[in-house]
Amino acid sequence: MRVLGIDPGLTRCGLGVVEGSIGRPLTLVDVSVVRTSSELAVPERLVSIEKGIDARLDEYRPDAVAIERIFARSDVSTIMGTAQAAGIAMVCAARRGLPVALHTPSEVKAAVSGNGRADKNQVGMMVTRILRLDAMPKPADAADALALAITHIWRGGTQARIDAAVAAARPARSRIPGGAR
């Protein structure tokens, strides 16, 4: 399985492509960061992010896209920019019919380090170890994108199977007597 991990951000959007499967060594395919200038208008910045994501999707043809789930922070402007970049990432994947998974920061930290409260340095060190890299990916947005891809390979397939089983077990609304249609 090949996964594009995306750590969304308006200033720096981390993009990491990892290939592998559960129980086998994972391989770094590509890692990069799309940077935008705060001097540009937000729509122009979003177009730059879209172009960067589209280029990686076209070049590396992942099987899935894993994006960091947005969570509330104290700075509303940071949340908005991050959410806008995440939305662009979802649109880019959806255009290609790729499955999109959202993983929380604590889920990613727990998956790669065993500790849902790990700091950025611990996550970066574990990504370096898991992918057998000579140096830690920099900036942290790049390491976070790789951690998202790793998490999805290790956990995403299982979660997709659980979701499919739950959906299959749930009776269709149209079959429920007197149920909503």
In this structure, what token pair is assigned to residue 42? 């937000």
> Any idea which residue has 């849902």 for tokens?
116
> Does the annotation place 7 within a ligand binding site?
yes
Q: Is 68 annotated as a binding residue?
A: yes
Determine contact, residues 132/25, Cβ cutoff 8 Å: yes
Measured in degrees and rounded to the nearest 5, phi and psi for residue 18 equal -130, 145
Residues tagged active-site? 7, 68, 141
Mapped onto helix, strand or coil, the DSSP state of residue 13 is strand
For residues 16 and 26, the answer to whether their CB atoms sit within 8 Å is no
Was 19 annotated as part of a binding site?
no
Cis upstream peptide for 137 (omega within 30°): no
Annotated binding site for Mg(2+): 7, 68, 141
Annotated binding site: 7, 68, 141
